[in-house]
């Protein structure tokens, strides 16, 4: 009887601790207000990249972008959120547009300021969107691509309605945004979506969380990850393993350029490699040496721009 009582108490304590851990993890990881930014110049999470050396460059490009004649645009998501973005028209008549999707805890005008100038100078219209629960967009819960893939399709619908389907559309995503555009690729996208650029994409939210629990926190994925994923389903409407970018890549039809830093330990390089191998469509790959997570554009700017330019020149008509 005593042993049974002790076992029951231990089991109850374990369940309580797991539930508490799941609630804390969900709040910190999925809820918008889970991380407070005391210094906007710093990343809200440690991804293993020294961003301080790039702050002057990022600030310069951001100021360049914000000084342009921007238009604030908005759409309504499938679940009623107002999602917002900044639209920069091309400097002369063009039938090419890039829709850019940023990474976790970031926003369009920060993460894509440098690339915005690259695309603008190359003759593209530029649309930098803020993902749900980020920047100026509504939302309490971050979607990790599982929800954002529907938002991506909505942004494409907005562009096609606004420009009557005349635009050649490029989707460019970084990190969570990269997973988003790959996950969105099989959502019956229109034929004028001509190419997808995925910079350091993760295969699934589950796999990247499992990797981080083991490598950064030395915690096994079970039972914490399972419990947090179930809580996410209850509150945010999706599970961490609901969508896999590598599985979606097997079915995608659009040409894909995968870019990844060879020193990325946050979203490990093997995830980008797995997605690239899974893709059965036309594809290219660029690996940047000495680049950590999200660092490829900064660490290898010339190679990055040359690869994107060559890839898109082969996918679009000019």
Across 25-39, 48-62, 94-108, 125-139, least confident range? 25-39
How high is the mean pLDDT of the chain?
92
Q: Is 289 helix (H, G, I), strand (E, B) or coil?
A: coil
Determine contact, residues 105/75, Cβ cutoff 8 Å: no
**Per the structure block, which two tokens stand in for 19?**
């539930």
Mean pLDDT of 147-173: 98
Mean pLDDT of 250-255: 98
Mean pLDDT of 65-69: 97
Q: What's the confidence (pLDDT) of residue 39?
A: 41
* pTM, full prediction: 0.93
What confidence category does residue 19 fall into, taking pLDDT thresholds of 50, 70 and 90? Answer: confident
DSSP state of 33: G
Q: Residue 14 above 50 pLDDT?
A: no
**Per the structure block, which two tokens stand in for 150?**
């529907």
What confidence category does residue 213 fall into, taking pLDDT thresholds of 50, 70 and 90? Answer: very high
Q: Rounded distance, CA 42 to CA 54, Å? A: 11
Q: Residue 239 above 70 pLDDT?
A: yes
User: Over pLDDT 90: what percentage of the chain?
Assistant: 88
Across 32-36, 77-81, 199-203, least confident range? 32-36
Q: What's the confidence (pLDDT) of residue 223?
A: 95
Q: Among the residues of 105-146, which ranges form H helices? A: 108-111, 113-121
Q: What's the confidence (pLDDT) of residue 11?
A: 34
**Per the structure block, which two tokens stand in for 52?**
């301080």
DSSP structure string for 188-240: ---TTEEEEEEES--S-HHHHHHHHHHHTS---STTHHHHHHHHHHHHHS--T
Mean pLDDT of 309-318: 97
DSSP state of 263: T
Q: What's the confidence (pLDDT) of residue 49?
A: 87
Q: Dump pLDDT digits (tens) for 97-119.
A: 999 999 999 999 999 989 999 99
The CA-based angle 133-202-311, given to 5 degrees, is 100
Q: What's the confidence (pLDDT) of residue 10?
A: 33
50 exposed, middle or buried (CB, 10 Å; 0-12, 13-18, 19+)? exposed
Residues 6+ apart with CB under 8 A from 312: 170, 194, 195
Determine contact, residues 299/188, Cβ cutoff 8 Å: no
Q: What's the confidence (pLDDT) of residue 36?
A: 67
CATH superfamily assigned to domain 51-315: Alpha/Beta hydrolase fold, catalytic domain (3.40.50.1820)
Q: What's the confidence (pLDDT) of residue 240?
A: 98
Mean pLDDT of 112-133: 97
The CA-atom distances, in angstroms, between 165 and each of 190, 199, 248 are 9, 26, 25
């Amino acid at each position: 009887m005593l042993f049974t009582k002790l076992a029951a108490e231990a089991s109850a304590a374990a369940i309580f601790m797991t539930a508490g851990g799941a609630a804390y993890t969900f709040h910190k990881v999925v809820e918008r207000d889970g991380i407070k930014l005391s210094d906007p110049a710093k990343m809200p999470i440690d991804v293993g990249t020294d961003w301080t050396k790039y702050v002057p460059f990022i600030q310069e490009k951001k100021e360049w972008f914000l000084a342009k004649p921007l238009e604030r645009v908005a759409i309504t998501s499938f679940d009623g959120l107002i999602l917002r973005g900044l639209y920069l028209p091309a400097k002369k008549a063009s039938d090419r547009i890039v829709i850019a999707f940023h990474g976790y805890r970031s926003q369009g005008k920060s993460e894509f300021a440098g690339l915005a100038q690259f695309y603008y100078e190359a003759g593209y219209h530029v649309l930098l969107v803020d993902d749900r629960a980020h920047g100026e967009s509504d939302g309490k819960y971050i979607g990790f691509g599982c929800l954002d893939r529907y938002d991506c399709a909505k942004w494409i619908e907005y562009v096609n309605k606004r420009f009557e389907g005349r635009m050649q559309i490029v989707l460019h995503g970084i990190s969570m945004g990269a997973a988003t555009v790959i996950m969105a690729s099989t959502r019956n996208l229109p034929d004028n979506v001509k190419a997808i650029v995925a910079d350091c994409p993760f295969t699934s939210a589950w796999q990247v969380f499992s990797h981080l629990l083991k490598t950064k926190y030395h915690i096994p994925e079970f039972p914490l990850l399972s419990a947090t994923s179930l809580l996410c389903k209850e509150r945010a409407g999706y599970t961490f393993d609901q969508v896999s970018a590598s599985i979606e890549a097997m079915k995608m039809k659009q040409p894909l350029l995968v870019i990844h830093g060879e020193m990325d330990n946050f979203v490990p390089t093997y995830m980008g490699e797995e997605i690239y191998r899974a893709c059965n469509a036309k594809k290219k790959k660029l690996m940047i040496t000495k680049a950590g997570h999200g660092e490829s554009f900064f660490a290898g700017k010339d190679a990055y721009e040359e690869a994107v330019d060559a890839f898109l020149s082969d996918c679009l008509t000019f």
